[in-house]
Chain A
Amino acid sequence: MAEQIVCREATLGYENMTVAEGIDFTVSEGDYLCILGENGSGKSTLIKTILGLKPVDSGSIDWVGLTPKEIGYLPQQTVVQKDFPASVREIVLSGCLSKTGFKPFYGRELKELAAQNMQRLGISDLAKRCYRELSGGQQQRVLLARALCATSKVLLLDEPVTGLDPKAQNDLYELISELNKSGITIIMVSHDVNAAVRYASHVLHMGHRRQLFFGSKEDYLQSRIGKSFIMSDSDDGEASSVKEQSDARAILAPVAAAAGAAAAGALISGIIKTGGKRKCLR
């Protein structure tokens, strides 16, 4: 497997403020890397640095055999987009922009590409709908289709399931997993530990200002940090499942507190549900 992104001892931060140091990892073709960490641990900053939206303070992040025009990116939704008057087709097509070169308009083959990607994500019938009237899950699919127009090699996803209901979350995870199986490298930021363990091939766990773990999922599950975040050992049935839930709750506590009681209830039930499913899969 060819290496695609090599990050060596990178220090990330905003002006005069270091967010994370000593970030060190490698992504190869076809990998599914999940970047975990709590709020404020610098996950989104890492994504932005990988994309070249901000410079590395020290160390290096290198693309091997890729140009910025071959990257797809699914950013977190901005306030501007929430009531943006644009049709789904217009948005998906805007992903092709880097392929137009100096031409001011989209050619026929780019329109074809956009149509194919809409088909691939099952949103062809929404093409003429207005983006702001779609559900959260549909909006994410639209943005994913746009990202696919920009790339056929690497996709970076910044907390793609935030704000979606549990079913939509699962659907989106399945979709991303399928894209990965078709050969696209996936780098996903998440604070959903369960999803990471379920779908990813590699895990990068970021702690307070430093990297806690990088390696394959199997190693992560065996590591001390992985065990403390996910579970102890699931051989002893009920007891561990309860502990697992409380652990997951502990990780998500800051989020839940911020989101208020109702959201917290939904989150916890979601965790219990996905947690249960993961057990079934084993």
Chain B
Amino acid sequence: MSEIIDKLSLYFSYPFVRYALIVGLLIALCSSLLGVTLVLKRLSFIGDGLSHVAFGAMSLAAVLPVIIKEIAAGVSASGEVPQGVRELADTLSKANNNYIVLPITLIAAILLLRPGKNAKIKGDAAVAMISVGSLAVGYMLMNRFPTSSNISGDVCSTLFGSTSILTLKEDDVRLCLIMAIVVILIFIIFYNRIFAITFDENFSKATGIKADSYNLLIAVVTALIIVLAMNLVGSLLISALIIFPSLSAMRVFRSFRSVIICSAVISVICAGVGIIASILMSTPVGSTIVTADIIVFFLFYITGKITKRA
């Protein structure tokens, strides 16, 4: 026991581990809040689709400097990269990837959750198309314009999060903190409206609530959360973070408010436990957190069955 405590206190003496924990808990909290709405609106798959878009955007952000250099070299006769272009490429590669990933994901979210369902291609097909498409393009880009010698390592860490949470800089933490606070504030302020349009969009519209604007808001916040959560669990496991806590909470609780609170609590505890367990057992952070979520889901599932029968 004392061994474990020693190991933990050693780890937590490093600031980057503390950052990882803080960011992890915040992301878990945000994703669970919106998860309830997304699950109830039958939009669980949006999270999955958007995370793939975020993967494509992430690869694009990673390879953009290389592409720019190659194109410049091809255009100039001597094969030399002009000074100005090189500087541009260098600034791009130093900049935080989130500045490229976020806008792209936002646009995809708005396109997918766009108000008015008269799009030519229907919901689930559109999601599948965009998500698989960006996955393929992202992987192709990363292979065609390699940024490091370890491509499969890069891809793996983007998909599954792996160690990236431990390499967070203070800047990333600050960005995460601000985005998390924005998400939570939006959720609290619009709580009643979100409930109303989740439960019955037509009724809300008929009684003069601007449901379309709130749907757009939900799309934007979803995109925000997904970009945030990419750092923690990687793009393949994000939907787990969004849907598992709310599904667990729905097994047992029966009012909207208690479901929301419960799923937030579950999510934060699972994230905390997952991060600590991943340190102790040297497992990947993302998949450990999701495993914790799965275990809790089954516990709640059984509890739900028992209490219903009683």
Listed in ascending order, the chain A residues whose CB lies under 8 Å from chain B are: 15, 48, 51-53, 67-69, 71-73, 75, 78-81, 84-87, 89-91, 93-95, 97-98, 100, 104-106, 128-130, 132-133, 146-147, 150-151, 156
CA distance A150 to B204 in the complex (A): 10
CB distance from B304 to the nearest CB of A (A): 11
Q: Is B141 an interface residue (CB 8 A)?
A: no
CB distance from B253 to the nearest CB of A (A): 6
CA distance A95 to B195 in the complex (A): 11
Given contacts A84-B199, A105-B192, A106-B192, contact A51 B41 (CB under 8 A): no
Contact check, B207 vs A69: say whether CB atoms are below 8 A apart.
Answer: yes
Specify the chain B residue showing the minimal Cβ separation from A105.
B192
CA distance A95 to B199 in the complex (A): 11
CA distance A101 to B216 in the complex (A): 20
Interface size on B, residues (CB 8 A): 30
Contact check, B256 vs A86: say whether CB atoms are below 8 A apart.
Answer: yes
Given contacts A85-B253, A97-B193, contact A53 B205 (CB under 8 A): yes
Given contacts A69-B208, A86-B256, contact A97 B202 (CB under 8 A): no
Could you write out 9 A-B pairs with CB less than 8 Å apart?
Answer: A71-B207, A79-B42, A80-B42, A80-B198, A85-B40, A93-B192, A97-B192, A97-B207, A151-B207
Please give, as numbers and ranges, the residues of chain A lying within 8 Å of B192 by CB-CB distance. Answer: 93-94, 97, 100, 104-106
CA distance A98 to B42 in the complex (A): 25
Sorted nearest first, the 3 A-B pairs with minimum C-beta distance are A130-B254, A87-B255, A68-B208
Given contacts A90-B256, A97-B196, contact A104 B190 (CB under 8 A): yes
Q: Among the listed B41, B118, B203, B259, which residue makes an inter-chain contact with A73, where contact means beta carbons less than 8 Å apart?
A: B203
Given contacts A68-B208, A80-B41, A97-B209, contact A86 B199 (CB under 8 A): yes
Q: Is B191 an interface residue (CB 8 A)?
A: yes
Contact check, B40 vs A90: say whether CB atoms are below 8 A apart.
Answer: no
Contact check, A78 vs B200: say whether CB atoms are below 8 A apart.
Answer: yes
Please give, as numbers and ranges, the residues of chain B lying within 8 Å of A98 by CB-CB distance. Answer: 207-209
CB distance from A172 to the nearest CB of B (A): 18
Contact check, B207 vs A81: say whether CB atoms are below 8 A apart.
Answer: no
Contact check, B199 vs A104: say whether CB atoms are below 8 A apart.
Answer: no
Contact check, A15 vs B118: say whether CB atoms are below 8 A apart.
Answer: yes
A contacts with B: majority SS = mixed
Contact check, A75 vs B207: say whether CB atoms are below 8 A apart.
Answer: no
Given contacts A97-B193, A98-B208, A104-B191, contact A85 B256 (CB under 8 A): yes
Q: Among the listed B207, B209, B253, B257, which residue makes an inter-chain contact with A90, where contact means beta carbons less than 8 Å apart?
A: B257
CA distance A85 to B261 in the complex (A): 13
Contact check, A94 vs B199: say whether CB atoms are below 8 A apart.
Answer: yes
Q: Is B206 an interface residue (CB 8 A)?
A: yes
Specify the chain A residue showing the minimal Cβ separation from B308.
A133
Additional 8 contacts, C-beta under 8 A, given A85-B254, A85-B259 = A48-B202, A53-B206, A75-B200, A80-B40, A85-B250, A98-B208, A104-B188, A104-B190
Identify the interface centre among A85, A89, A128, A156: most chain B CB within 10 Å of its CB. Answer: A85
Q: Among the listed B118, B188, B204, which residue makes an inter-chain contact with A97, where contact means beta carbons less than 8 Å apart?
A: B204
Please give, as numbers and ranges, the residues of chain B lying within 8 Å of A15 by CB-CB distance. Answer: 118
CA distance A53 to B205 in the complex (A): 7
CB distance from B228 to the nearest CB of A (A): 23
Specify the chain B residue showing the minimal Cβ separation from A151.
B207
Contact check, B254 vs A87: say whether CB atoms are below 8 A apart.
Answer: yes
Please give, as numbers and ranges, the residues of chain B lying within 8 Å of A147 by CB-CB distance. Answer: 203
Given contacts A81-B199, A94-B195, contact A130 B206 (CB under 8 A): no
CA distance A231 to B290 in the complex (A): 65
Q: Is B189 an interface residue (CB 8 A)?
A: yes
CA distance A105 to B188 in the complex (A): 9
CB distance from B103 to the nearest CB of A (A): 28
Chain B 162-202 interface mask (CB, 8 Å, partner A; 1/0)? 00000000000000000000000000111111011011101
CA distance A130 to B202 in the complex (A): 21
Please give, as numbers and ranges, the residues of chain A lying within 8 Å of B189 by CB-CB distance. Answer: 104
CB distance from A203 to the nearest CB of B (A): 23
CA distance A197 to B255 in the complex (A): 40
Please give, as numbers and ranges, the residues of chain B lying within 8 Å of A91 by CB-CB distance. Answer: 199
CB distance from A179 to the nearest CB of B (A): 17
